[in-house]
Amino acid sequence: MQSTLDGPKVAPKSGAKPQQLVVFLHGYGSNGDDLISLAPYWADLLPDAEFVSPNAPFPCEMNPFGGYQWFGLEDRNPATKLAGTRAAASILDAYLDEALKSRGLDESKLALVGFSQGTMMSLHVGPRRATAPAAIVGYSGALIGAEALAGELKSKPPVLLVHGTADPVVPFQAMAAAAQALQACGVTIETLARPGLPHSIDPEGLRRGGQFIHQNFS
């Protein structure tokens, strides 16, 4: 386990000190190099943002050589998944606190962007932080432990969920279920269905995600 998270970074395109921080959270079995590749697509829209993409804290049980996981999936019992999410959340929260502090930024300058398991982490951590991040963008993910959210919610960050209708890994229906649970807690939600898209991010989802972050930073 990594007690402190680390991974690739892309400095602001403006060349100045970062005024915003976009944190990418990768999927199961991947690593930070995966989502940091999205940074160039958003650099013109977010020229003052630094992009960081930490590796998840645990070596992946299915891909221990270069792959990481936020929590294990060998036991898919909902209680086990929620416990794993909580364990990773404490590590991620500490990382976010330090990342903001070291850059002199507050939560209003933070955006969380997740893919698959990284979306699950974003949706767990974001609403449980004392002050809401500026935005959460979740691709191809789900909400873990929806029944626990209402009692643990501390803030209401705006959320955009994007999901392909042909996703064979995380069912497309997970987007509607997450949106319903978050809306029930008073969280502002937007959803974008991508017809025929499998477990992936397409250009339209990428474009809308960048717009959503830009709007909420503004």
- 34-90 pLDDT per residue, tens: 999 999 999 999 999 999 999 999 999 887 778 999 999 877 788 888 899 999 999
Active-site residue identified among 53, 116, 122, 140: 116
- pTM, two decimals, is 0.96
At residue 79, the pLDDT reads: 86
Q: Which CATH number fits domain 9-217: 2.90.10.10, 1.20.1240.10, 3.40.718.10, 3.40.50.1820?
A: 3.40.50.1820
Could you tell me the two tokens for 49? Answer: 């943002």
Active-site residue identified among 26, 53, 140, 167: 167
Residue 49: closest CA among 24, 13, 25:
13
3 is catalytic: no
- The yes-or-no verdict on residue 167 having pLDDT over 70 is yes
Could you tell me the two tokens for 209? Answer: 């995600």
Question: At 3, is the pLDDT very low, low, confident or very high (cuts 50, 70, 90)?
Answer: low
At residue 4, the pLDDT reads: 80
- The yes-or-no verdict on residue 165 having pLDDT over 80 is yes
Mean pLDDT of 118-145: 97
Give the separation between CA 183 and CA 9, rounded to whole angstroms: 33
Mean pLDDT of 208-214: 98
CA dihedral 69, 71, 77, 82 (to 10 degrees): -140
